[in-house]
Structure 1
Amino acid sequence: MNTKYIDLVEQTFDFPQEEFKTENNKLFWHGINLMELTAKYGAPLKFTYLPKISENIIKAKGWFQNSIAKHNYKGKYFYSYCTKSSHFKHVLNEALKNDIHIETSSAFDIDIINNLKKEGKIKDNTFIICNGFKRDQYIKNIGGLINSGHQNCIPIIDNFEELPLLQKETSRPFKVGIRIASEEEPKFEFYTSRLGIGYKNIVSFYEREIANNEQVDLKMLHFFINTGIKDNAYYWNELMKCLNVYINLKKVCSSLDSLNIGGGFPIKNSLAFDYDYEYMIDEIINQIKQACDEAEVEVPNIFTEFGSFTVGESGAAIYEVLYQKKQNDRERWNMINSSFITTLPDSWAINKRFVMLPINKWNRQYERVLLGGLTCDSDDYYNSEQHINGIYLPVYEKDNPLYIGFFNTGAYQESIGGFGGLQHCLIPHPKHLIIDRDEDGNLTSRVFKEQQKSSELLSILGYGEVSENKIESEKLVKEAVL
């Protein structure tokens, strides 16, 4: 009878997979021996595998170029990364190796852009697409970037008042885009996105505010829907409505030459994940070309803003199962040595699923369990109620620790969880590693951030003297040990 954990996985999924395999009953991810990593750095542990960022960018650029060639599409493709998915410098540095462009969403984003420009990571011809609702400092920072001579800074107009505000802060001519306020999927509590300008108002807005404005040229029409790029009637219907706006706008605006279809490519959330990226890209290019050809207008350059797709699959977290609590005859709670609310907040806030697999003990029998975090919050758990399928893991053994990994966690979790700040119940943020490969393809690793200390949290909370005493105490203890 096949009752080992590896039997369960191999009978349920196509396994091994591109990034996952096992050796000696231990899990490898992108060739990384995760038990060796855990033995060296401990758990809980979060880490970023940088090569996956470049890999996904290169894949997407290749898919678009193949489709453009196939359909004899005359426009160009521009890959943009939306920084809100992960603002970390190591992420931006890796992404920018691949000749990409940047989408921003707030004032401080522009400070990051200026920092990267000083280091030569962002060039003057890099497109900086400024999205979001803009006021005060964001407007000023965008104006400063335009005034510095960055001609490819394109603020995306979100409402009727933004254009005059931008003009007051700029002394040069500049390009803009307009965001469409797309209609939401029927399941939403509201009908239209709060972002952008309504379909019916865009052409009249252009003619009223931009057509005869010597300071401003309309460069881009921006389209994005919350549900992302999916092969369903809702997405294709919204795309066609967007194309109708583009065509009508292009007929009265010769400077318009780009269509931004936003982001929304999904990433792998289970071993059964199945999404045909190439088909979706090919069909998008095909529909844009057909619509423009029928209307006898030039096809636009295509921009995308991939955030989760860029960085999501580069992240992972490892936890140790500390203890198993049998609360009744059926439920076994495996308690991890961290918190889901603080380290994987999307699992708690929006019931997001991640790939979850044990790191060791693949040759042991398995059992159905619930996973619990360390905080005293009743919502600090990860289980089948929230995540559709039951959780099965190798049987818990007190004297033989079980380690579990959550994969493809690289987008949003650190920023939503408040990296480096206060955590729920003062559970410290785990140690964070950066994993890369050298020129010979060998793995390298370095500690980006150590696990939070109590002195850091106390300092944030205003216990300054206590924090300083704690640091001094830790120093004296270390000296005494040495």
Structure 2
Amino acid sequence: MNTRYYDLINQTFYFPQEEFTLNKDNLQFHGIDLMKLVEEYGTPLKFTYLPKISKNINRAKMWFRNAMEKHDYDAKYYYCYCTKSSHFQFVLNEALKNNIHIETSSAFDIDIVETLMAEGKINKNTFIVCNGFKRDQYVTNIARLINNGHKNTIPVIDNFEELDLLQEQIDGKFKIGIRIAAEEEPKFEFYTSRLGIGYKDIVPFYRKQIAENKKVELKMLHFFINAGIRDTSYYWNELLKCMKVYIALKKECPSLDSLNIGGGFPIKNTLAFEYDYQYMVDEILNQIKIACDEAEVPVPHIFTEFGSFTVGEAGGALYQVLYQKKQNDRENWNMIDSSFITTLPDTWAINKRFVMLAVNRWNETYERVLLGGLTCDGDDYYNSEQHMNAVYLPKYNKEKPLYIGFFNTGAYQETIGGFGGLSHCILPQPKHILIDKDKNGIFATEVFSEQQKAEDVLEILGYKKKQEQ
């Protein structure tokens, strides 16, 4: 009988895969021996595999390059990284090795941009696309960036008042974009995105506030789909509606020359993940070109804003199963040495699934389990995988420690979980390490942050200050 954990994975999926292989009965991720990481750094452990960031950026550039050649698409492609997915310096440092651009969403983003400029990581040719609802400090920071000479800063207008706010603080002429308030998928509780300006209002807004405005140059139309770039009738319908607006604007506004197709590519969340990236890029550019050719307007330059796609597949989290609780005849709870709510908050908040695999003991028999976190919250659990609606792991044995890994967790989890701050039940933040690879294929690890200490938490809560008084 095929009762080993390896047999389960092998008969359910194509295995091994590009990033997942085995060394005897231990899992490897991009050739990294995960058990060695556990032995050296312990658990719980967060890690970021930096080379994956550059690899995904260059994959996307290749897909767009191929599609532009295939369709004789006479324009340029600009890859932007949206910083909200992960603001960490090590992420930006790796991403910016690849001649990319940046998308921001809040005031402090601009401070990060200015720091990167001072360090020589970006220059005047780098586009800074400023999205989000803009008030006060964000407007001030955008104006400072432009007034200090960074003319490739493009604030994307989100509502009718923003243009006036920007003009009050920006000296001289500046570029802008306009964001379309796309209609949401039918399953949403509301019909139209709260972000951007409605389809029917964009051309009138241009005529009223921009057309005769000597201070403003409209360069970009921003098209964002919350569900991401997916091969659905909903996506294609919204793209065609966007093109109608772009063409109508272009015929009145010669300076408009760029289309920002925000909304990212999906990333792998199961070993059964399938997505034809090249096909999607081909078809997007094909539809844009057809629409422009029929209207006899030049095709736009293409901007994308990939956040999760850039950094998501670089991250992972390792845990130890501490104990198994048998709550009834059918439910075995494997308790991990951390919390899902605090370290992988998307599993709790939006029921997101990540690739989850055992790290060791692949050649032993398996069982169906539920995974529980250490907090006292009833929602601190992870109990299903998309492919089988259950979690299967090697059988618990208190004499043989079991380690598990969650992969492709590199986007949003640290910032949503409150990195360096307070966590539910004040469980400590795990140790976080960075993994790089040199030209000879040698891995190097570096501790980015140690596990949070009680003193750190007490200071945040005010206890340390009280003691010092």
After TM superposition, the score normalised by the length of structure 1 is 0.96
Structure-2 change in CA distance of 1:388 and 1:222 (3 Å): farther
Q: Distance in 2 between matches of 1:146 and 1:23?
A: 53
Letter in 2 for 1:16: P
2:383 paired residue number: 383
Q: Distance in 2 between matches of 1:6 and 1:225?
A: 39
Are the aligned partners of 2:52 and 2:314 in contact in 1 as well (CA < 8 Å)?
Answer: yes
Give, as a single letter, the amino acid of the residue that structure 1 aligns with 2:118.
K
Equivalent residue number for residue 14 of structure 1: 14
Shift of 1:438: 2.1
Shift of 1:468: 7.1
| Deviation digits for residues 372-395 of structure 1 (CA, Å, limit 9, x no counterpart) | 000000000000299862100000
Contact 2:227 2:263 in 1 (8 A): no
CA spacing shift, 1:14–1:466, aligned 2, 3 Å: farther
Please report how far the alpha carbon of residue 437 of structure 1 lies from its aligned counterpart in structure 2 after TM superposition.
Answer: 1.1
Q: SS in structure 2 opposite 1:166? A: helix
Paired position in structure 2 for 1:56: 56
Superposition pairs of residues 302-341 of structure 1, within 5 angstroms: 302-341=302-341
Gap change, CA 1:465 and 1:93, over 3 Å in 2: same
1:441-452 mapped onto 2 (5 Å cutoff)? 441-452=441-452
Name the structure 1 match of 2:172: 172
CA distance in 2, matches of 1:249, 1:311: 34
* In 1: Cα distance, 2:141 partner to 2:329 partner: 60
Structure 1: how far apart are the matches of 2:434 and 2:243? 42
Map 1:262-301 → 2, pairs under 5 A: 262-301=262-301
Does residue 128 of structure 1 match 2:128? yes
Cα gap change, 1:325/1:466 in structure 2, threshold over 3 Å: closer, same or farther?
A: farther
SS of alignment partner, residue 400 of structure 1: coil
Matched ranges for 1:187-336 at <5 A:
187-336=187-336
What residue is the counterpart of 1:80 in the other structure?
Answer: 80
- Give the letter aligned to residue 182 of structure 1: A
Tell me the amino acid that sits aligned with residue 19 of structure 1. Answer: E
Cα distance, 1:465 vs structure 2? 4.5
Asked whether the 8 Å contact 1:146–1:172 carries over to 2, the reply is: no
Q: Measure, in 2, the Cα distance between the counterparts of 1:179 and 1:148.
A: 25
Deviation sequence 1:419-466 (CA, Å, 0-9, x none): 000000010000000100123221000000000000000000001257
Give a deviation string over 1:298-354, Cα, whole Å, max 9, x none: 000000000000000000000000000000001000000000000000000000000
Alpha-carbon separation, structure 1, partners of 2:78 and 2:328: 56
The amino acid that maps onto 2:207 is E
Q: Residue 440 of structure 1: SS of its match in structure 2? A: coil
Hey, what does 1:25 align to over in structure 2? 25
- The 3 A distance-change label for structure 1 pair 425 and 387 is farther
Match of 2:345 in 1: 345
2:354 aligned partner: 354
In the aligned structure 1, how far is the partner of 2:171 from the partner of 2:425?
50
1:430 equivalent in structure 2 = 430
Distance in 1, matches of 2:465 and 2:440, equals: 49
- Mean alpha-carbon deviation: is it higher for 432-441 or for 401-410? 432-441
CA distance in 2, matches of 1:43, 1:309: 26
Letter in 1 for 2:295: A
Change (3 A) 1:379 1:221: same
Contiguous gaps of at least 5 residues in structure 1? 470-482
User: Residue 467 of structure 1: CA displacement?
Assistant: 7.5
Which AA in structure 2 matches 1:454?
A
Question: RMSD in angstroms over aligned alpha carbons?
Answer: 1.2
- Aligned residues of 1:458 and 1:466 also touching (Cα < 8 A): no
- Residue deviations 1:185-224 (CA, integer Å, cap 9, x gap): 1111100000000000101111111111111100000001
Distance 2:210 2:348 in 1: 44
d(CA) in 2 for partners of 1:222 and 1:385? 35
Counterpart of 1:182?
182
Percent identity over the alignment? 72
On the 8 A contact 1:332/1:370 being kept in 2, the answer is yes
Cα distance in structure 2, aligned partners of 1:4 and 1:273: 23
- CA offset at residue 119 of structure 1? 0.3
- Range that drifts further, 376-385 or 94-103: 376-385
Q: Which amino acid aligns with 2:169?
A: E
SS in 1 for 2:72: coil
Alpha carbons 2:268, 2:408 under 8 Å: kept: yes
The answer to whether the 8 Å contact 1:27/1:34 transfers is: yes
Cα separation, partners in 2 of 1:385 and 1:298, compared to 1, 3 Å: closer
Match of 1:473 in 2: none
Given that residues 322 and 335 in structure 1 are in contact (C-alpha distance below 8 angstroms), is that contact kept between their aligned partners in structure 2?
A: yes
Match of 1:41 in 2: 41
Alignment partners' CA distance in 2, 1:439 and 1:56: 18
Q: Distance in 1 between matches of 2:350 and 2:194?
A: 20
Q: Would the aligned equivalents of 2:270 and 2:387 in 1 still touch at CA under 8 Å? A: no
Aligned-partner residue type, residue 70 of structure 1? K
Kindly state the Cα deviation for residue 247 of structure 1 after the two structures are TM-superposed.
0.3
Q: Kindly provide the amino acid, as one letter, of the partner of residue 242 in structure 1.
A: C
- Contact 1:320–1:404, Cα closer than 8 Å, also in 2: yes
CA contact (8 A) 1:458 1:467 kept: no
Q: How does 1:65-144 map to 2 (within 5 A)?
A: 65-144=65-144
Paired position in structure 2 for 1:155 = 155
* Cα pair 1:351 1:386 within 8 Å, conserved: no
Alignment check: 8 A CA contact 1:181 1:198 kept: yes
> Conserved in 1, the CA contact under 8 Å of 2:316 and 2:405?
yes
Distance apart, 1:148 and its partner CA:
0.5
Question: Could you tell me which residue of structure 1 aligns to residue 421 of structure 2?
Answer: 421
CA distance in 1, matches of 2:141, 2:465: 37
**Cα–Cα, structure 1 residues 369 and 248, in superposed 2: closer, same or farther, change >3 Å?**
same
SS in 2 for 1:59: helix
* 8 Å Cα contact 1:353/1:387 also seen in 2: no
Pick closer, same or farther for the CA change 1:185–1:438 going to 2, 3 Å: same
Distance 2:384 2:192 in 1: 32
- Indicate if the aligned counterparts of 1:52 and 1:314 stay in contact, CA closer than 8 A: yes
Amino acid at match of 2:304: T
What is the CA distance between 1:75 and its match in structure 2? 1.1
| Rounded Cα–Cα distance in structure 1 between residues aligned with 2:340 and 2:386 | 13
| Shift in alpha-carbon separation, 1:388–1:206, aligned structure 2, 3 A | farther
> Partner letter of residue 394 of structure 2?
P
Contact 1:332 1:368 in 2 (8 A): yes
Q: Deviations over 1:18-38 (max 9, x none)?
A: 000001100000010000010
